[in-house]
Structure 1
Amino acid sequence: MIPFVKAHACGNDFLILEEEVAKRQHAMVARRLCSRNTSIGADGIEFLERKPNGELFLRLFNADGSEAELSGNGTRCVAAWLASSEGRDRVIFGTHGGPRICRVIDNADPVYLIESEMGVPRVMPRTIELPGVGSVVGAMVNVGNPHFVLFTESEDFGAHGLTWQALGAQISTSPLFPHGTNVEFVKILSNDEIAFRIYERGCGPTTSSGTGTCASSAAAMALRGIGRELTAVAEGGPQKTVWPSNEAAMRLTGPAEIICRGEALGL
């Protein structure tokens, strides 16, 4: 049996497994357990490794078995679990996208409000050419993992005559991005609020994304000149971002909720 915890952040759901249980079979375990019709179901798995010196390291595998550098929402879910199970109100995680510090600022177990330090976003305007679509103006944003952000004024977030889901799938898997990319479609609502949709690499459309929230906010701040403190609203709900300057780390605040604990059959 494989013990697991399931949690979500604005509907973006994850399983949490201890590394010693996974036995390094990350991709296979992720594909099996994340299947929504034949198993537990999730957007991905956070594998938590406890190093001998006490450090904590997270490896994120998407539902399709691919590995990503990190997940802002997934990291927050693990922080909520450690707050619930071990009473930690501050935790530092190592990730392949760099260290992330999470602080619990409100505890209403099983729901936790957590502020995360998300590193310094890097924003670079870029126009890409897609077959059958043409020129797509946007920005490459790195927040520890890759994103392509484009702005839209469409009510349904579509662009270039396509739904955001269809265009997101094409951009995410384009040869222009050899390692794939997450894609966000952003609407500016006011000087301190944006709305966006996410097509997540290795997963598809998701209701929320922590790094997607940061990438969308950073692009809007850097390229559209809106406020440095934003509410960013995805389908799963709002999160808050603060980016004091282009050289500073961005802070992300949002909820994480523990859904359940259980055991999966051995793989």
Structure 2
Amino acid sequence: MILNFTKMHGLGNDFAVIDAINQSVALTSEQVQQLADRHFGIGFDQLLLVEAATTTTADFRYRIYNADGGEVAQCGNGARCFMQFVREQGLTDKAQLQVETASGPLQLVQQADGQISVDMGVPRLEPADIPFVAPVRERTYTLDVLDRQLEIAALSMGNPHAVLLVDDIETAPVASLGPAIENHPRFPERVNVGFMQIVNNDSIRLRVFERGAGETLACGSGACAAVVAGRLQEQLLESVKVILNGGELVVSWAGEGRPVLMTGPATTVYQGRIEL
């Protein structure tokens, strides 16, 4: 099987994007892992598939695979790359799209300045909807990890997130706590782990250890989750600059019952072909 692909990134969170409308694509988990290998494959954090919509209300279907081969329901940085890809490839000329995902519809908007905005939907805060094992919903939860008790926020942005407040992300123990929290038994579907440093009430710094991918240079849904967590803890304003290792996003959330809006860039690196 020969596949045409485009390598893209959103603030360094990198993707292989494949048009599965104009070519036949059927990948196993092992093949995704092979493609993700940075020495013997393309190399990426996630693989994105562009498929034909299955409903009359959507323009496309958007599917996401982590580097470990597992399919996931949401990727915010990938959504911006998805929008740029379908426009560059001539699959649409619309500046506003609705796409299907496993977690529900996403709205994507191409801004006049080249930035792309994503309506990430309403965050899910009830433990059963994350999913997270807890008797009742709380602002923060105590989690026993590596013989320590940590205070985390837990929520879903279409994928599960834990957010941990730290004094300095440069010295945060991402390499040790990231995988330990990701695989904690209270997160039955594993979890993305955000380490958030609050700079002031409209600016944060963030590192994210992504489920199935490890630490990445940026995580769009993680940025959204961090802002929601900070807003619920009454430490952040409605619109927040999120500074990640790969660059900056702007995330806005008006409060409970309202969708989270994320705006940032998408970059095309190159196009290629690979044989599996």
TM-score by length of 2: 0.88
Partner of 1:264: 274
Distance 1:27 1:140 in 2: 28
Distance 1:245 1:203 in 2: 30
Give yes or no for contact 1:210–1:252 (8 Å, CA) kept in 2. yes
3-state secondary structure, aligned to 2:26: coil
- Greater than 6 Å deviation, 4+ residue runs: none
Distance 1:3 1:34 in 2: 15
Alignment of 1:124-135 (within 5 A): 124=138, 125-130=140-145, 132-135=146-149
Give yes or no for contact 1:157–1:187 (8 Å, CA) kept in 2. no
Choose which of 139, 159, 163 in structure 2 pairs with 1:145: 159
Distance 1:224 1:29 in 2: 44
Specify which structure has the higher proportion of strand: 1
- The alpha-carbon deviation at position 59 of structure 1 amounts to 1.3
**Residue-pair matches, total:** 257
Structure 1 range deviating more: 25-34 or 242-251: 25-34
Task: Give the root-mean-square deviation of aligned CA atoms.
Answer: 1.7
- The alpha-carbon deviation at position 242 of structure 1 amounts to 0.9
Choose which of 189, 192, 197 in structure 2 pairs with 1:187: 197
Partner of 1:61: 65
Distance 1:237 1:133 in 2: 34
Identity %: 29
Give yes or no for contact 2:169–2:196 (8 Å, CA) kept in 1. no
Q: Deviations over 1:5-25 (max 9, x none)?
A: 111000001111133546332
Choose which of 225, 244, 251 in structure 2 pairs with 1:241: 251
Q: 1:88 to 1:260 in 2, by over 3 A?
A: farther
Distance 1:36 1:145 in 2: 25
3-state secondary structure, aligned to 1:93: strand
Distance 2:212 2:162 in 1: 15
Choose which of 23, 26, 39 in structure 2 pairs with 1:24: 26
Distance 1:177 1:228 in 2: 28
Distance 2:231 2:144 in 1: 25
* Counterpart residue type for residue 78 of structure 1: F
Q: 1:88 to 1:198 in 2, by over 3 A?
A: same
Partner of 1:88: 94
3-state secondary structure, aligned to 1:221: helix
TM-score by length of 1: 0.91
3-state secondary structure, aligned to 2:170: coil
- The alpha-carbon deviation at position 157 of structure 1 amounts to 4.4
3-state secondary structure, aligned to 2:153: strand
Structure 1 range deviating more: 236-245 or 120-129: 120-129
Distance 2:112 2:31 in 1: 32
Q: 1:22 to 1:165 in 2, by over 3 A?
A: farther
Q: Which runs of 5+ in 2 are unaligned?
A: 126-137
3-state secondary structure, aligned to 1:187: strand
Q: Which runs of 5+ in 1 are unaligned?
A: none
Q: Deviations over 1:180-219 (max 9, x none)?
A: 1000000110110001110000000000011001001110
Distance 1:31 1:88 in 2: 33
Partner of 2:3: 2
